[in-house]
Amino acid sequence: MNVIECSGLTKVYGSRKAVNDLSFTIAENKITGLIGRNGAGKTTLLKIIAGYYRKSAGKITVFSKNPFNNIQVAEKLIFVDDRMSFPPALALSEILSSAAAFYPHWNKRIADGLLNYFQLEPKEKHQYLSKGMASTFNMIIGLASRCPLTIYDEPTTGMDAAVRKDFYRALLKDYIEQPRTIILSSHLLNEIEDLLEDVLLLRGGSKELQLPIAELKHYAVGLSGREEAFAEFINDVDILHQKQMGNVKYIVVRNNFSESLQKRIGMSGVEMTPVATDDVCVYLTAGNKGGIDDVFHRSE
């Protein structure tokens, strides 16, 4: 079953299309990474899914219903970001008690265990938590609520490296115990790729790709060698990235080579190397194929 279905989904702010003609589905009980650079439209999309924002055009259903201001959809999902606000007078323990009453699948063991593990003082007020501690507390609510659809928008903002690692581990362990549909947005893939089953990559509000992470690992390949050695192999291929290092050229291309072509490339002295998934995402969403180096070459 698909939890989310959208086609032609568009959100316009004034003259800017923050989400542009998006069509995709997200199946039940998967962890999907929503990846994109600053301003790619991740938060806008997630807030439309969560029912906070009204779409401008296209179709979207969440649990088979239009999510906008829909209480039947809202009670099945939680949206976690670093701007979650709570009544300032409430202590953390009181916020957890209210959340327990609100979310039907609330797991008190997880909530209390994580609060204790991350050394958050139950009597502390949310407004006095540091940025990283507030993110940690919000993450605890996200996990303990065990909502059928759990949306994390940049959940690790402000967390230090050790807490981030613990968060990802807790997320995975809890997901294994209680599978549900989880969307995790991030600029970069490297920290979260081990958690993900699918990746939805946005660029300028549009879908650049949606693939299982296992396929993304083979999506592109790097070729390096003298340019004339591989010129014949790259006539019709889409170059995602290129870099010149002395007389050696490195290019990243779609991995569409047949086995026999791969053998010929190998015999020509050109080295073929895998390309990390987060690099693939950076290249696919870059405005410039040469990267930041181009700025410096132009001004030399």
Ligand X SMILES: Nc1ncnc2c1ncn2[C@@H]1O[C@H](COP(=O)(O)OP(=O)(O)OP(=O)(O)O)[C@@H](O)[C@H]1O
| Residues within the interface to ligand X (CB under 6 A) | 13, 16, 18, 36, 38-44, 187
The nearer residue to ligand X, 107 or 186, going by C-beta atoms, is 186
Secondary structure percentages of the chain, helix, strand, coil, to 5: 35, 30, 35
The nearer residue to ligand X, 66 or 157, going by C-beta atoms, is 157
The nearer residue to ligand X, 41 or 67, going by C-beta atoms, is 41
Residue 186 CA, chain-centre distance (Å), reads 4
Residue 7 is encoded by which pair of tokens?
Answer: 């086609």
CA distances to 4, 22, 66, 90, 211 from 25, in Å:
5, 10, 14, 38, 11
Spatial separation of the C-alpha atoms in residues 10 and 128, rounded to whole Å: 38
Q: What is the DSSP letter of 53?
A: S
Look-up of token digits 């949310």: 126
CB of 34 to ligand X, least distance (A): 9
The nearer residue to ligand X, 42 or 249, going by C-beta atoms, is 42
Q: What is the DSSP letter of 127?
A: G
The nearer residue to ligand X, 35 or 147, going by C-beta atoms, is 35
Provide the 10 A C-beta neighbour count for residue 158: 16
CB of 143 to ligand X, least distance (A): 22
CB of 255 to ligand X, least distance (A): 27
The nearer residue to ligand X, 47 or 146, going by C-beta atoms, is 47
Edge-first strand listing for the sheet containing 206-212:
77-80, 149-153, 181-186, 31-35, 198-203, 206-212
CB of 287 to ligand X, least distance (A): 14
The nearer residue to ligand X, 53 or 175, going by C-beta atoms, is 53
CB of 157 to ligand X, least distance (A): 10
CB of 160 to ligand X, least distance (A): 20
CB of 133 to ligand X, least distance (A): 21
What is the DSSP code string of 216-244? Answer: HTTSEEEEEE-HHHHGGGSTT--EEEEEE
Task: Please give the backbone phi and psi of residue 179, each rounded to the nearest 5 degrees, phi first.
Answer: -60, 140
Name the nearest CA neighbour of 50 among 40, 38, 31, 63.
63
CB of 36 to ligand X, least distance (A): 5
